[in-house]
DNA sequence: CTGAAAGCGCTAACAT
DNA sequence: ATGTTAGCGCTTTCAG
């Protein structure tokens, strides 16, 4: 009970393999009569072309690798970023007829696997997601000369789509200043990620322009790190009256720490997050945050990859941001 | 500038293609001298075997499809389930040397694509995630005779790993009864999913055993549906004193509705969720919930698929559950 | 417009 | 233990 081959279809239809191939691939130069014969045979046999054989013959593939830099155990296994990005990218790529091969590249071992996989010619291109600064993967893949784009700016100079992280952070801090807040702290993302660095820069520079000093706790984009960061900040500077968390997950953690410490939000301490994930609407009080629609960014990144396939230069794209004011600040 | 082939390596090393093939595939029957020669040539040329050619020759592949039934637009794009399941499954499968091809099968079109893809022999097996009852995909894939498992019990009788959804719901409701709650409502998941049905059954039967009546609002596992469901319940039965939400996301939505309605939790209304996602620790008050570790379930499902590859019968597995009591009930 | 034939790069008998 | 040879299933010149 094997699957029928193109030859089987040809035999059944009483035509040559070439004709079957032409019909299957939708070439125009086929007599209606033959086309009809072939289509019937295909249907009767339930024929589906063998992908490996086709790839081998054409030297092409319609698969792309989406490589997500993921810590081995998954720091926060329910990262909304992951979900939004992977789903959106899959949707866009799939409707362009591409298959998505998902690869997690957290460990050295998995990174090697990813490299080999790409080198084996399994994919036509690569999308990199959430690369940390020191990651050697972009460079080694780039050396192989594959079409490649990144979700978010990264090292290695590849085409990317990013948000204006610096500008977004600046807007958040400016808003807090306008509200009369004087001691504004921040909880950062992992500092080996460019997005974290940019958000920290936006915070720092805005504060420096007004002669105020930075109060920094380092987090890693997880709720728990926001919680712990906030506790530490409260200890370091009990008089702080505002905090800018570099993402909403950490803002959610900070909210909990403030609640436990008996501080009222926003009366005692104002909180601003970043990303505007759906959960930001459900905190108490609802979170003021900077909207950087990850889904639009993901879709744009996928489209950038498609355009690179078509020979476009792949110029970086920066998406706009916007402050969403809710009750937490 | 093409990639080097096995033949090129053979020429360079001055041996036959077979020898190269043997070395590359780690066969034992190779003289050390030849092995050395080959390894050097491989390294010098940067040779990586072509995947398509190998698949074609061996009639095998080490890719598996993970097919996620996803609504076209993505009801809640930051579904923690998606993230936890996809990442965990990828991790397990990748460390077993398999590649994961992710496919979203929400629309009829994408479903067809998934079928074709599997039929094209691209993958060695399939894992189905979050199938809705009416989905025709399991049946049509099963007809093709591929190794296949499901995350969560589904129609079609394939091997699966599931939680004891009915039992978990029963435990939650019993707990509320023990606390002296008398009017216990529920917000369900989408009723075409078996997990939703089971959780509803657990709720219903436990209540019926004590002669109490059900108060039901239908949700779809999203925060907003929990919010709206709770508002509706409050309107239908203002005197209710507890609610069992079929997942934590909806419980979070319910919490917001209760807050807006001025009900205190748990004093006026007790809330119990299901799943114990990380966010449950960060609500105000922290959520009492039923733990059904999705990650363990995902890992077990991946391992089930691997064991089916090895000829195991693929008997269903039911994972235990446990009530996690926090302050919301 | 159709068919015959030559590969794509690799593996797997088989022979040596 | 190594090499030779025949495919795996498809596409793609090239003749007809």
Q: What is the pLDDT of residues B41-92, one digit of tens each?
A: 999 999 999 999 999 999 999 999 999 987 765 556 678 888 889 999 999 9
Q: Is B327 on the interface with A (CB under 8 A)?
A: no
Half-sphere exposure of A8 (CA within 13 A, CB side): 13
B274 in the same domain as B158: no
Quickly list H helices, A133-247. Answer: 137-143, 165-178, 194-209, 223-236
B175 shares a domain with B276: yes
The backbone torsions φ and ψ at residue B151, rounded to the nearest 5 degrees and listed phi first, read -85, 105
Residue B33 confidence (pLDDT): 92
Q: Do A223 and B282 touch (CB under 8 A)?
A: yes
Cβ-Cβ contacts under 8 Å, B291 against chain A: none
Q: Is B5 on the interface with A (CB under 8 A)?
A: no
User: B231 pLDDT exceeds 70?
Assistant: yes
- Give the Cα separation of B109 and B72 in Å (integer): 10
Element (H, E) at A100: strand A99-104
Question: Å between A30 CA and C1 C1'?
Answer: 7
B chain contacts of residue A61, beta-carbon cutoff 8 Å? 52
**B87/A83 Cβ within 8 A:** no
Give average pLDDT by consecutive 10-residue segment, chain A, 329 residues: 89 95 93 94 95 95 92 66 92 93 90 92 93 81 89 86 95 97 97 94 96 95 96 97 97 98 97 96 97 91 94 89 95
Written as six digits, the tokens of B268 are: 């006026």
* Amino acid A75: pLDDT: 57
Closest B-chain CA to A5 = B120
Q: How far is the CA of B30 from the C1' of D3 (A)?
A: 13
How many other C-beta atoms are found inside a 10 Å radius of the C-beta of residue B10? 18
- How far apart are the C-alpha atoms of B173 and B166, rounded to whole Å? 11
Rg over CA atoms, chain A:
26
Does residue B329 lie within any of the structural domains? no
CATH code where residue A15 lies: 1.10.260.40
| pLDDT score recorded for residue B2 | 77
In chain C, which nucleotides are within 7 Å of a protein Cβ? 1-5, 7-13
Can you give the distance from the CA of residue A138 to the C1' of nucleotide C12 in angstroms?
37
| Residue A149 maps to a domain | yes
* CA–C1' A48–D15 (A): 29
For residues B76 and B5, membership in a common domain is answered with: no
Q: What is the distance, to the nearest Å, from the Cα of residue A123 to the centroid of all Cα atoms in its chain?
A: 19
pLDDT of residue A293: 81
Contact with chain B for residue A107, Cβ under 8 A: no
Q: Are A101 and A117 in contact (CB under 8 A)?
A: yes
Q: What secondary structure letter does DSSP report for A250?
A: H
* 233-262 of A, contacting B, C-beta below 8 A: 252-253, 255-256, 259
Question: B85 and B16 share a domain?
Answer: no
Q: For B147-201, how does the pLDDT look when each residue is reduced to its tens digit (9 = 90+)?
A: 999 999 887 788 999 999 999 999 999 999 999 999 999 999 999 999 999 999 9
CB B100 within 8 A of CB B93: yes
Comparing CA positions, the residue from B146, B148, B133, B140 lying closest to residue B196 is B133
Cβ density class A56-77: b for 16+ within 10 Å, e for less: beeeebbbbbbbbbbeeebebb
A141 and A83: one domain?
Answer: yes
A110 and A181 assigned to the same domain: no
Shared-domain flag, residues B170 and B256:
yes
> Which of A48, A74, A120 has its CB closest to that of B116?
A48
A/B interface, count of CB pairs below 8 Å: 172
Q: Which residue's CA is nearest to the C1' of nucleotide D7?
A: B57
Mutation site, B5, B87, B115, B231, interface A, largest A CB count within 10 A: B87
**How many Cα neighbours within 13 Å face the side chain of A44?**
12
Q: How many CA atoms lie within 13 A of A161 on its CB side?
A: 23
Contact between chains at B52 and A121 (C-beta distance less than 8 A): yes
| A49 interfaces chain B, CB cutoff of 8 Å | yes
Nucleotide nearest to A32 (CA to C1'): C1
Q: Are residues B285 and B301 in the same domain?
A: no
Tell me the chain B residues in contact with residue A255 when contact means C-beta distances shorter than 8 Å. 282
Whether A322 is covered by a domain: the verdict is no
Q: Per CA to C1' distance, which residue is closest to D6?
A: B57
- Full domain range(s) for residue A135: 49-162+296-317
* Structural domain contains residue B36: yes
The distance of A282 to chain B (nearest Cα, Å) reads 6
Quote the number of domains for chain B.
3
CA dist B253 and B259 (Å) reads 10
| B137-146 own/partner pairs: CB under 8 Å, 24+ apart | B137/B67, B137/B69, B137/B105, B137/B111, B140/B115, B141/B115, B144/B118, B144/B119, B145/A1, B146/B118
Residue A101 has its nearest CB partner, among B72, B100, B284, at B100
| Cβ atoms of B248 and B190 closer than 8 Å | no
Choose among A60, A101, A67, A98: nearest CA to A82: A67
In a domain, B17, yes or no: yes
Q: What angle, rounded to 10 degrees, do the helices at A194-209 and A165-178 form?
A: 40
What does the alpha-carbon distance between residue A167 and residue A203 come to, in Å, rounded to a whole number?
9
**Best of A2, A45, A99 to disrupt the B interface by mutation (most B CBs within 10 Å)?**
A99
Distance CA A132, CA A164 (A): 18
* CB proximity A94 to B under 8 Å: yes
Same domain, B278 and B189: yes
Q: What is the pLDDT of residue A178?
A: 97
Judge if B263 and B219 occupy the same domain: yes
Residues A157 and A183 grouped into a single domain: no
Asked if B94's CB is within 8 angstroms of A256's CB, the reply is no
Residue B327 within any structural domain of the chain:
no
Interchain CB contact of B175 with A (< 8 Å): no
- Rounded to a whole number of angstroms, the distance from the CA of B209 to the nearest CA of chain A is 35
Residue of chain A whose alpha carbon sits nearest to that of B119: A48
Residue (of A267, A199, A192, A263) closest to A234 by Cα position = A263
CA distance B71 to chain A (A): 11
- B93 pLDDT more than 90: yes
Tell the residue number behind the tokens 């005692």, with chain if given: A268
Q: How confident is the model at residue B133 (pLDDT cuts 50, 70, 90)?
A: confident
- All residues at 6 or more sequence positions from B316 whose CB lies less than 8 Å from its CB, including other chains: B153, B159, B160, B161, B162
**Domain CATH for B269:** 3.40.50.2300
Same domain (yes/no): A179, A32:
no
> Which residues make up the interface with nucleic strand D when CB must lie under 7 A?
A 2, 5-7, 17-18, 21-22, 24-25, 47, 49-50, 53-54, 56-58; B 15-19, 22, 29-31, 33-34, 53, 56-57, 59
B255 to A2, A229, A283, B266: CA distances (angstroms): 56, 26, 9, 10
Asked whether residue B328 is assigned to any structural domain, the reply reads no
Answer whether residue B132 is part of any domain: yes
Length of chain B: 329
Cβ under 8 Å to B: A residues 215-234: 223, 227
């Amino acid at each position: 009970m094997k699957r029928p081959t193109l030859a089987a279809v040809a035999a059944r239809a009483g035509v040559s393999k070439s004709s079957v191939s032409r019909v299957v691939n939708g070439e125009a130069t086929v007599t209606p009569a033959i086309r009809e014969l072939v289509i019937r045979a295909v249907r009767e046999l339930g024929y589906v072309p063998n992908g490996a054989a086709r790839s081998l013959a054409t030297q092409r593939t319609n698969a792309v690798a989406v490589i997500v830099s993921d810590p081995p155990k998954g720091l926060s296994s329910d990262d909304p970023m992951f979900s939004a990005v992977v789903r959106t990218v899959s949707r866009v790529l799939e409707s362009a007829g591409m298959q998505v091969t998902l690869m997690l590249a957290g460990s050295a071992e998995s990174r090697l696997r990813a490299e080999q996989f790409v080198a084996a010619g399994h994919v036509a291109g690569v999308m990199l997601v959430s690369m940390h600064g020191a990651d050697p993967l972009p460079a080694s893949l780039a050396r192989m000369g594959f079409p490649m784009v990144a979700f978010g700016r990264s090292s290695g100079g590849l085409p990317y789509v990013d948000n204006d992280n610096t500008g977004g952070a600046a807007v958040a801090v400016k808003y807090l200043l306008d509200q009369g807040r004087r001691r504004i702290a921040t909880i950062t993302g992992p500092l080996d990620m460019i997005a974290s660095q940019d958000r920290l820069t936006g915070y720092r520079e805005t504060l420096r322009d007004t002669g105020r000093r930075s109060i920094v706790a380092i987090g890693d984009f997880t709720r728990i790190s926001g919680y712990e960061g906030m506790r530490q900040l409260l200890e370091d500077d009990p008089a702080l009256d505002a905090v800018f968390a570099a993402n909403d997950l950490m803002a959610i953690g900070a909210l909990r720490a403030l609640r436990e410490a008996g501080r009222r939000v926003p009366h005692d301490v104002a909180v601003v997050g970043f990303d505007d994930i759906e959960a930001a609407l459900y905190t108490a009080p609802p979170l003021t945050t900077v909207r950087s629609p990850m889904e639009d960014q993901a879709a744009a990144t996928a489209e950038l990859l498609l355009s690179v396939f078509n020979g476009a230069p792949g110029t970086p794209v920066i998406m706009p941001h916007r402050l969403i004011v809710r009750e937490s600040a």
